[in-house]
Structure 1
Amino acid sequence: MKRSGPLYTLLAGLLLALFMLSLNATTGTGSSSYGGDAPGTAASSPATGQGKPSPTPTKSPTPSKSPSKSPDEKPPPNADYAGRTDDDTSAVSLSLRDGKAIAYYCDGRDTESWLKGDVEDDGSMRLTGKHGAKLTGQLTGKRVRGTVDATDGRHAFTAAKAVKPSGLYRATTEVRGAKLDGGWIVLPDGSQVGIVKRDGKPAKAPRLDPRTGTARVDGDVVTARPVTP
């Protein structure tokens, strides 16, 4: 009868061990149900920042195109113009070709100036010559209105569109050993204003025959040609 004590003790130990194993198994299942994430569930967890709308990419501003000329914008038409200064002391003639201009200012005695430059699409122009000479003009319709600054001062002028033989002529040659440079402005009314320089010395130009473009200088025939830029 005394030997049954240890047997009971051993049996009680086995029961306790079974109970503890059962308890551990039950606790492990509970941990999986209520504890942290079970293995393999990380993919189902929301990623950091998930749920926030992605910023819309900002488009780079399209570079603005440089303003270009309209196909309708063209330089003023080729033409010649001639007229007198407002004080009626001198004459001015201009020749316009493909956006370029050449002009001649002359008082018919001792002052003259050749000028050249560009003509803008709006008909404005700023021409320059030797000794600081300049001409500022504006083409409007069939005339050029402006001012010319020469060695004898500033003069306002109006030059109307010229029809041949009116216009601007020039002759550069040599006569009896002297270098000759002559300029003529033939005005719409048929009158002429011009200067001929012999070796740089100015004098009133002889009359030019517009039909032939010739003039007599010191008894010799000189041929003048229409001036274009």
Structure 2
Amino acid sequence: MKRSGPLFTLLAGLVLGLFMLSLNATTGSKSASSSYTEESPSPKASPAPTQTTASPSPTPSRTPVPDADYTGRTKDDSASVAVSLRDGKAVAYFCDGRDKESWLKGDVEDDGTMRLTGKNGAKLNGTLKGKRISGTVDVDGGHYDFTADRAKKPDGLYRATGRAGDTDVDGGWIVRQGGRQQVGILSRDGEPSPAPRIDPETGAVTVDGEQLTARPVTP
């Protein structure tokens, strides 16, 4: 009986030790479990803003000079002037109805200005504003101020070329006021003279018994 006492004590200590070891293991497991926190997913990095290159300002569109015909008189009322505009080009005719005339041509700028030239140093400088061309004409040493307003058919600038008998003819006409007013010169083999009237609706004209047709003039 005396020997069983120490053995019993040893067994009791062993059981107690196992119990404490088990308790520590359980507590440690719980502690590890309670201290775990779920990591939140890292926020995705926002893409860097795309740099855009500013588009250049659009070039203002140019307004072309409208296609039209213009007829008028010189300031001293000694001659008529007609100008025809098409696609930025111009042709003009200066005529006093007797023996002085000139055909001129050139470009029209976007601002309506024009500098037209003709034979023997003739020139026309004009500016289109609204429905009127104002400017000057220099022909055969004369300098003339003029204005020409926008025309409606049959008004405008006409020309006829051909032969009448054995003669080469070349005629120019400026028609105004619905065809009631006409100024023109007809050259026979280079000799100028007042031109006969034309039919403003058809352009028909009789020259020395020959039938010719005067047609609208455009650049």
Fold shared by both chains (TM-score > 0.5): yes
Pick aligned residue for 1:92 from 66, 76, 81: 81
Does the CA-based 8 Å contact 1:175-1:220 persist in structure 2? yes
Q: Do residues 101 (structure 1) and 59 (structure 2) align?
A: no
Q: Do residues 110 (structure 1) and 103 (structure 2) align?
A: no
Write the letter of the residue equivalent to 1:120: E
Q: Which residue of 2 aligns with 1:199?
A: 189
Aligned residues: 163
Does the CA-based 8 Å contact 1:196-1:203 persist in structure 2? yes
Does the CA-based 8 Å contact 1:137-1:146 persist in structure 2? yes
Q: Which residue of 2 aligns with 1:214?
A: 204
Q: Do residues 138 (structure 1) and 127 (structure 2) align?
A: yes
Shift of 1:162: 0.4
Does the CA-based 8 Å contact 1:126-1:137 persist in structure 2? yes
Shift of 1:227: 0.1
Structure 1 segments unaligned to the other structure (5+ residues): 1-64
Pick aligned residue for 2:112 from 106, 116, 123: 123
Q: Cα gap change, 1:213/1:87 in structure 2, threshold over 3 Å: closer, same or farther?
A: same
Does the CA-based 8 Å contact 2:154-2:200 persist in structure 1? yes
In 2, distance between residues paired with 1:216 and 1:155? 32
Does the CA-based 8 Å contact 1:170-1:225 persist in structure 2? yes
Moved more, 188-197 or 143-152: 188-197
Pick aligned residue for 1:148 from 115, 137, 141: 137
Shift of 1:69: 5.8
| TM, length-normalised to structure 1 | 0.69
Match of 1:209, SS state, is coil
| TM, length-normalised to structure 2 | 0.72
Does the CA-based 8 Å contact 1:75-1:119 persist in structure 2? no
Instruction: Encode CA deviations 1:77-98: one digit per residue, 9 max, x unaligned.
Output: 0000000101011000000001
In 2, distance between residues paired with 1:222 and 1:74? 39
**Any runs of at least 4 consecutive aligned residues in structure 1 with deviations exceeding 6 A, and if so which?**
none
Q: Which residue of 1 aligns with 2:214?
A: 224
- Pairing 1:1-229 to 2, within 5 Å after superposition: 70-71=60-61, 73-188=62-177, 190-229=180-219
Shift of 1:133: 0.1
Match of 1:228, SS state, is coil
Does the CA-based 8 Å contact 1:82-1:188 persist in structure 2? no
In 1, distance between residues paired with 2:141 and 2:154? 29
Q: Cα gap change, 1:123/1:107 in structure 2, threshold over 3 Å: closer, same or farther?
A: same
Does the CA-based 8 Å contact 2:164-2:209 persist in structure 1? no
**Matched-pair identity in %:** 62
Instruction: Encode CA deviations 1:83-134: one digit per residue, 9 max, x unaligned.
Output: 0101011000000001000000000000100000000000000000000000
Does the CA-based 8 Å contact 1:110-1:202 persist in structure 2? yes
Write the letter of the residue equivalent to 1:134: K
RMSD of aligned Cα (Å): 1.6
Shift of 1:152: 4.6
In 2, distance between residues paired with 1:113 and 1:80? 17
